[in-house]
């Protein structure tokens, strides 16, 4: 039987059953069943920024943690290396879809084995490019991204007009 790598997306939560906390939520549950069926489950998730979220992070053996800082860029940590990549300065046209675009860039580059510095920069680039255009899903090609990069400025102060 062919082995598959399945991407499980959503928020990992605590399920409380008869007063006991159990890890749950779609990506966790789906990832478990994918694993049980002999395949590899890759989770793309977020957790709350509270004590319960901290507990989840302590329980899981994570391969990549991404802290998004919006217009200020992002930080990635894979347990061996920590990188920070500043955001791109842009005139924001429409923020809808920029986070999804960032995540798509991050996941595809991570699964391709791209170095963390390149993943972080590319994800920031894609998110900023989408934010500079109208609509949730503007067409973004490699050529359009290179043109956008050529006329953009990296900067720690973030997106103008946000």
Tell me the average pLDDT across 102-122.
94
Give the whole-angstrom CA distance, residue 106 versus residue 34. Answer: 22
What is the tens place of the pLDDT at every residue in 69-91? 888 899 998 878 999 999 998 88
Are the C-beta atoms of 5 and 110 separated by less than 8 Å? no
Are the C-beta atoms of 99 and 159 separated by less than 8 Å? no
What is the tens place of the pLDDT at every residue in 15-33? 999 999 999 988 889 989 9
Would strands 13-17 and 20-24 be described as parallel, antiparallel, or unpaired? antiparallel
Evaluate if pTM is beyond 0.75.
no
Q: How confident is the model at residue 162 (pLDDT cuts 50, 70, 90)?
A: very low
**Residue 27, CA distances (Å) to 62, 65, 93, 111 in order:** 13, 15, 32, 17
Q: What is the pLDDT of residue 159?
A: 40
Domain ranges in the chain? 5-59, 65-154
CATH of 65-154, one of 3.60.40.10, 3.40.1190.20, 3.20.20.70, 3.40.50.720: 3.40.1190.20
Are the C-beta atoms of 130 and 101 separated by less than 8 Å? yes
Q: Is the pLDDT of residue 156 over 80?
A: no
Q: How confident is the model at residue 151 (pLDDT cuts 50, 70, 90)?
A: confident
CB atoms within 10 A of CB 30: 17
């Amino acid at each position: 039987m062919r082995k598959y790598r399945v991407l499980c997306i959503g928020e990992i939560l605590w399920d409380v059953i008869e007063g006991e906390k159990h890890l749950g939520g779609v990506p966790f549950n789906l990832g478990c069943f994918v694993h049980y069926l002999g395949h590899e489950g890759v989770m793309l998730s977020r957790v709350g920024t509270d004590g319960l979220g901290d507990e989840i992070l302590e329980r899981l053996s994570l391969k990549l943690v991404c802290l998004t800082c919006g217009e200020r860029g992002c930080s990635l940590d894979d347990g061996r290396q920590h990188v920070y990549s500043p955001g791109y300065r842009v005139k924001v046209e429409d923020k809808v879809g920029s986070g999804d675009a960032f995540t798509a860039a991050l996941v595809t580059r991570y699964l391709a084995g791209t170095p963390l510095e390149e993943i972080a920069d590319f994800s920031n680039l894609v998110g900023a490019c989408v934010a500079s255009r109208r609509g949730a899903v503007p067409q973004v090609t490699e050529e359009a991204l290179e043109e956008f990069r050529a006329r953009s400025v990296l900067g720690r102060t973030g997106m103008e007009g946000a």
